[in-house]
Every structure is written in C-alpha cells, then in structure tokens.
A and B are shown apart, each in its own frame.
Chain A
C-alpha cells in the first residue's frame, strides 16, 4: 500500500468519526500545548533573571555585610551582620591592588517633594563609579560627581518616573527636590530602562553615598560593588578583600562575597529545575492522551473487525494491517501535536506582545520532547491493539469475531 493511499484511507476514517478524532486531537493538543506554555514561561523566567543579573559585568564582585555560613546557596538579601560594612571599609577596599573601582550602595525609602507634590521614593546613595559598573545611561545632564566617598554634595540624578511624578512641568535639570531635611539639586536624568537587580531605576533618586548615610542616619552600607581590573583577578581580589575586612573587623569575617557567576549559577539551576519539572508535569497529560489513543485504537479494531477480514481476503498482509492501525494513531498524534504547537506558539506570541519585557521562549528540547513523547506514546499504546488486529485469522475477522484472536 502506498503512503498516499494510506493517508487517504486514514483521513477518511478520521473525518467520518470526527467527534472522536476531535477529542483525541484536543487531548494531545492540550498536552503538547501545556508543555510548550509551561516551559516557555519557565525559560522566560530564567532568561529574565539572567538578563537582569547580567547587567553587572563578569568582573564585578558584590560584598554583602553578614556571613552566610553555607556556601553555594543564595546570599542573604538583607545584611544582618554583626558589624556594619562601613564607608571606611569601602575606601580600604578601593585601595587594594587589582581593584579598578568600588561603588558603595545605601538604599532607603523616603518622602521626596518638589513644589507642592510629594512621593515616597527610593533613594540610592552611591558613587560615580556605580554608573559604569551598573552600566547606567544618562538621558541628559551629569552623573554623580567624582569625589571622595565620604564627601557630601546636594545633588541628585533621577529616574524617568520620578521626573513624571514630581517635575512634569518646567525644566528638570537644576530643579530642587527635598528629601528628609536635605535639599537636592537635580543634575541628571537617567535613561528609561527596565527593572533590574530588583531595583526599578525609573523610580530611583541617586545621590552621593555620604549624603544618603546622613539622610538615613546609618553607618552601614547595603552592599558594595567592586570592579576588578580583569575577570581573571577575581579569585585573588576576593581573597584580599576577605583578609582586609577580617583584619578591619577584629578578626571576624562577617561579610559575604558574591560573584555574578555564582548568583547566576544558582538561579540558573533553580529555574532550569523548575522548567524541567513543569515540563514533566505537563508531559503526564501526554500519557493520558496516549491512553486515549490506545482506547481509540482498541475500539477501532473491534468496530472494524470485518473490515480487517475483508482487507486480508483482498490480499493485505499482516504487517499492512498492523501499519494501517498504527498509522492511524500516529496521524492522530501528529495532528494533535501540530494543533498544540500552533496554539502554544500563538498564546506565547500574544503574551509576548502584551508583555514585551518578559522574554518568553520555548527551549528546543521542550518542543521536540513534547512532539516526540506524543508520537512515542501513540506508537507505544497503539502497538498492542494494532498487532492484535494484524494477527486475526481472516475467516474469523470476516465473521466479526474478535474473541479468540489471541491464540
């Protein structure tokens, strides 16, 4: 039998039992679609996180106050160290050999007003180096002044939303803001960008670190970014920083050093695992579809027993009968997969147009895996009923007697 004839024969059959066909297509389609959607979202989440954290170069070390005992896990999100990481520590680190630049970070929420308007905003105290380390771009004006870390200055760089909320009228540069008891002159406007490192720079007010420490009345840094001269130096510089801080903190190593690679590695692992497990769960629905296909094949064999007998009487060999029923199952699985893939990609495409910032992407292994499993399951489950049909003796099949088929 030619392939074209086989296809025509089967499609006639599937069209005739269109409702049953539709159910199978839906079951398989939903399974494939679920795998694509869930892995698409999982992979999207992974890329999102990676993109976020990749904003820092691979030559940057992050120093967090507080010791995290177990290595390899996530660093503590807030520094609950025994001893503050101070501005003097930052200065000392900046003088270590191999260190290119340091950017201390102090973060807090505070009321900021301008004219009659008032907003609670995130004030970020840092240094001019933060702009290079973090890759921040200015739309207009100047960045933070290059000056000693312990020097205060009444200046601010603001994000785009701060401008909209507080300074929508009149010029931005040169405008005055009030934060706590301090007056700040706006001297730069940040470029629009997404949320990164958990910080929405659009809603941030950047000021010199010493000013922020006064404003929040704190001695401790939230964290310290250290840029090394080249990525190969990371291990040495890391050791030097640990020794230095240990010496400065009375012999106690109460900081945690994190590299971007470590953070990314952990996130990557967790998110990959997540994607894999949702794919697996969605894959179970494909097994369900497979069982449905087996039932359909069983029903098909029992309803078409006489037809099997006839085809055999007309000269169909056992393996042709086997292939006839198997191909019916394969056709169903293929069409169902196609349906699932089309719908899945359509939904992901819609999601992408709605939330362009979130990078949804189906990994190739999920696509090929879903279709592969759908097909594999169909073949696996249809094999038995199909071979049962193939083994039927022609006389018996012509009588419509399926009973003693297995002898």
Chain B
C-alpha cells in the first residue's frame, strides 16, 4: 500500500543543513500496525508528515496505493488527505470554538456532505468511542484523553485507509494513554493501516512491526529480515 523510495528531506537552519530524512526506503502493506521509535530529532515527525502529505520530500518518491504522490497537484493531495489519510497529533489540534461533534464532523464538512448525511456517521462514531455524553462540549471542557479520542474520531470519520499518529499519548497520563492506544489498536484490527510514533518503549513494543530511526535513517525494522531480503 505504501512504498517510500529514497526519500530525502533537508532543513536549513541558519548556515547549517540538517538532514531530517536520509535516503529513507520503506514498504508497508495494508492493515499493518507499525510503531516508529528513535531519539529526538531522528526524523520521526518528518516521516509522518511525508506519509500524511503535509510536506513534500526534496527527492525520492512516495507511492500511495500505487500512485506516485509527487505527480499530484496540491489540490489532489488535499483530496487524498481528506479521503485516504487520518492524522492524530500530539497537540490534538481541535478547533476550540467548535464542539466535539463539530470537530469530528469537519472532514465531512470539507468534503461537502449534507448535514443529513453527516449526522448519523458522527453519532455512530461518538457512541463507539464513548463520547456521546460529551458531544456538545467544547474542547476546553474535555480531559486530555477525551480530547485525543475526539481527534481520533475526526481522523477516522472518513474511513481512511491510513491512520498516522505522531506521539498521540505524549500529552496524556499513562491511564488515558493506554486507553487511546487501545482505541487505535481496535481500529487497526478493523483493517486500518496504523503507524504510531512513540517515545514509550512498552507502547512501541505492542506493535506487530517496529521501526527504529536515527539521523533520518531507518536503522532497524522488526520485519527487517524479510524486507532486507525483498
């Protein structure tokens, strides 16, 4: 489903050039559950941004569902983000003047769906994630764990194939953190391809496939044997 070929991304900081991704190559099949770990600054977020089409690589190619992403227009990339990719951020990124329900609804609103079509989908998801009592609360009235669950609901409302979570538990206590992880894993079991960036060793170990990064390079892949061969 995903193929990254020799992806490079460099940043210029003052006079210095920082290599965030260095010839990064990776293949992910549909339905996989991966964790990405590595020291701070190793390029994990940069990788997620590439996969989420939030940024463009300097060189290399990103194939998503056998389409080369570099060939797409900015508008087509936006459509891909809307329909194919769900993103969960460490900082939630909820819109603070919108209620939980309205935040979850946003991808459908952007798609241009009618309110009548949107309502049942949002309601179903609210109930599934145990958020129906908080549906009309504003983000500041919710706990961190609840906020992240709203953000996850928003990420999957369009039933994307790919769910990217960049340190989704980074701002949460361990209890809400494991709740959130359980939720993500549940979604993965239903078929969504899941990539989670985490600093938490134990959490990373739960993934069926674990990636380690350093200095923008993939230094270890638990499925390494097969992939190195292939």
Contact check, A318 vs B89: say whether CB atoms are below 8 A apart.
Answer: no
A394 within 8 Å of B by Cβ?
A: yes
Contact check, A315 vs B55: say whether CB atoms are below 8 A apart.
Answer: no
A393 within 8 Å of B by Cβ?
A: yes
Contact check, B114 vs A310: say whether CB atoms are below 8 A apart.
Answer: no
B182 within 8 Å of A by Cβ?
A: no
Task: Please choose the segment from B23-31, B105-113, B196-204, B216-224 that sits at the chain A interface, where 4 or more of its residues have CB less than 8 A away.
Answer: B105-113
Separation of A320 and B82 alpha carbons in the complex (Å): 13
A307 within 8 Å of B by Cβ?
A: yes
Which A1-29 residues have C-beta < 8 A from chain B? 1-2, 4-5, 9, 12-13, 16
B142 within 8 Å of A by Cβ?
A: no
B98 within 8 Å of A by Cβ?
A: yes
Contact check, B52 vs A313: say whether CB atoms are below 8 A apart.
Answer: yes
CB of B219 to closest CB in A, whole Å = 24
A284 within 8 Å of B by Cβ?
A: no
Contact check, B87 vs A313: say whether CB atoms are below 8 A apart.
Answer: yes
Partner pick for B78 among A5, A306, A317, CB 8 A cutoff: A317
CB of A406 to closest CB in B, whole Å = 16
Contact check, A316 vs B110: say whether CB atoms are below 8 A apart.
Answer: yes
Contact check, A314 vs B81: say whether CB atoms are below 8 A apart.
Answer: yes
Separation of A9 and B55 alpha carbons in the complex (Å): 27
Nearest to A304 among chain B residues (CB) is: B95
A224 within 8 Å of B by Cβ?
A: no
Q: A318-B78, A395-B49, A398-B93 are in contact. Are A313 and B54 (CB under 8 A)?
A: yes
Q: A12-B98, A312-B81 are in contact. Are A5 and B55 (CB under 8 A)?
A: no
Contacts of A319 in B (CB 8 A): 75
A311 within 8 Å of B by Cβ?
A: yes
Question: Interface 1/0s, chain B 93-106, versus A by CB < 8 A?
Answer: 10101100000001
Contacts of B112 in A (CB 8 A): 1-2
Separation of A371 and B98 alpha carbons in the complex (Å): 32
CB of A294 to closest CB in B, whole Å = 23
CB of A4 to closest CB in B, whole Å = 8
Contact check, A318 vs B54: say whether CB atoms are below 8 A apart.
Answer: no
Q: A2-B114, A306-B93 are in contact. Are A311 and B106 (CB under 8 A)?
A: yes
Separation of A319 and B93 alpha carbons in the complex (Å): 21
Contacts of A13 in B (CB 8 A): 97
B79 within 8 Å of A by Cβ?
A: yes
- Size of interface on A: residues with Cβ below 8 Å to B: 26
CB of B83 to closest CB in A, whole Å = 7
Contact check, A320 vs B110: say whether CB atoms are below 8 A apart.
Answer: yes
Contacts of A393 in B (CB 8 A): 54-55
Max chain A Cβ within 10 angstroms of own Cβ: one of B79, B95, B111, B154: B95
CB of A398 to closest CB in B, whole Å = 7
Partner pick for A317 among B75, B89, B107, CB 8 A cutoff: B75
Contacts of A16 in B (CB 8 A): 97
Separation of A171 and B194 alpha carbons in the complex (Å): 106
Nearest to B98 among chain A residues (CB) is: A12
Separation of A13 and B98 alpha carbons in the complex (Å): 10
Contact check, A1 vs B110: say whether CB atoms are below 8 A apart.
Answer: yes
Nearest to A318 among chain B residues (CB) is: B74
CB of A309 to closest CB in B, whole Å = 8
Separation of A307 and B106 alpha carbons in the complex (Å): 12
Contact check, A317 vs B79: say whether CB atoms are below 8 A apart.
Answer: yes
Question: Interface 1/0s, chain B 61-96, versus A by CB < 8 A?
Answer: 000000000000011001111110001010001010
Separation of A12 and B89 alpha carbons in the complex (Å): 24
Nearest to B157 among chain A residues (CB) is: A314
Max chain B Cβ within 10 angstroms of own Cβ: one of A315, A317, A320, A398: A315
Question: Interface 1/0s, chain A 360-395, versus B by CB < 8 A?
Answer: 000000000000000000000000000000000111
Separation of A319 and B82 alpha carbons in the complex (Å): 15
Contact check, A314 vs B97: say whether CB atoms are below 8 A apart.
Answer: no
CB of B46 to closest CB in A, whole Å = 9
CB of A91 to closest CB in B, whole Å = 87
Q: Which 4 A-B pairs have the closest CB atoms?
A: A315-B82, A394-B54, A317-B78, A395-B55
Which residues of A line the B interface, CB within 8 A?
Answer: 1-2, 4-5, 9, 12-13, 16, 306-307, 309-320, 393-395, 398
20 A-B residue contacts at CB 8 Å? A1-B112, A2-B112, A2-B114, A9-B109, A12-B98, A307-B95, A310-B93, A312-B54, A312-B78, A313-B52, A313-B93, A314-B87, A315-B78, A315-B82, A315-B158, A316-B78, A394-B54, A395-B49, A395-B54, A398-B89
